[in-house]
Amino acid sequence: MNSTATLSLPAPAKLNLMLHIVGRRSDGYHELQTLFQFLDLADRLDFAPRSDGKIILHSQIPGVDAQDNLIVRAASLLQLHSGCTQGADIWLDKRLPVGAGIGGGSSNAATCLLGLNHLWQLNMSLAQLAELGLQLGADVPVFVHGSAAFAEGVGEQLQPVELPEPWFLLAKPKVGISTAKIFSDPDLTRDTPRIKVRTVLERGGHNDCLATVLRHYPQVEQAMQLLSQFCQPRLTGTGSCIFGVFPNQADAVKVSHQLSGRLETWVAKGMNQSSLHQALKTLES
């Protein structure tokens, strides 16, 4: 924790275990069905209250202007909505890769909303915070609620689910992917039939973005070919991270070592309750 901070919280990664695009709304947003699960990989946010009302983020992310950062936007939105006159100093320890499809920016925003709700003693409900979060991004509500979930709509209609918690190997080629580029591609599949959550839990699903991502980003296809020697590789969200499922940590670590030097890799445990919510429960107990 930063030496002047009074609160330190994780901002965990997530995987989309499947992603079906079932339609497109009149406002241009896509109707999705997806399955979210958290990982024990996380960024970390440290907070300290300020009495002057200023929101100051002391950590910069290369290529992201401070005022466009989702952390600053989340803090300012919460301040505006609640009428809170307090401010905050915020420090980000960035450990998750940017543009990888594992939710770094959205998770940062959610941790900021929940962290400042606690720090400023606003007592807003998760539903209220999730509603605010949706203004920042479609993935923010799942991080606010903190439970593995089947999601519909643009990703904000959440149904909590209990999933196996296997070990995952994540691999990232040296490329960042533009979500907007994938979702605006005219050849993207947008008419996958809707399925019920029970069917997803029994049979799984696929990722409708995969073919489009592989067409635009050959680095992802090369990474999938490498990982396919050891497991069935899958794409999370619009990527660029791919992942494989392993029965234990040792097997995942072994493959990670075999891929080292060719791909950036992480070994992580699946979690049905996010580490953010576990940390908040500890604070409140």
Helix/strand number for the chain, H first, E second: 10, 10
Tell me whether residue 27 is one of the annotated catalytic residues. Answer: no
Structure tokens at 226: 């490498």
Catalytic residue among 14, 43, 46, 172: 14
Question: How many whole angstroms separate alpha carbon 174 and alpha carbon 240?
Answer: 9
End-to-end Cα separation, the chain, in angstroms: 20
Cα separation, 220 vs 250, in Å, equals 25
Instruction: Give dist(CA 124, CA 115) in Å, integer.
Output: 11
Query: One-letter amino acid identity for 137?
Result: G
Phi, psi of 269 (to 5 degrees): -95, 135
Residue 14 is among the residues annotated as catalytic for this protein: yes
Give the active site residue among 46, 139, 172, 208: 139
Q: Enumerate the active-site residues.
A: 14, 139
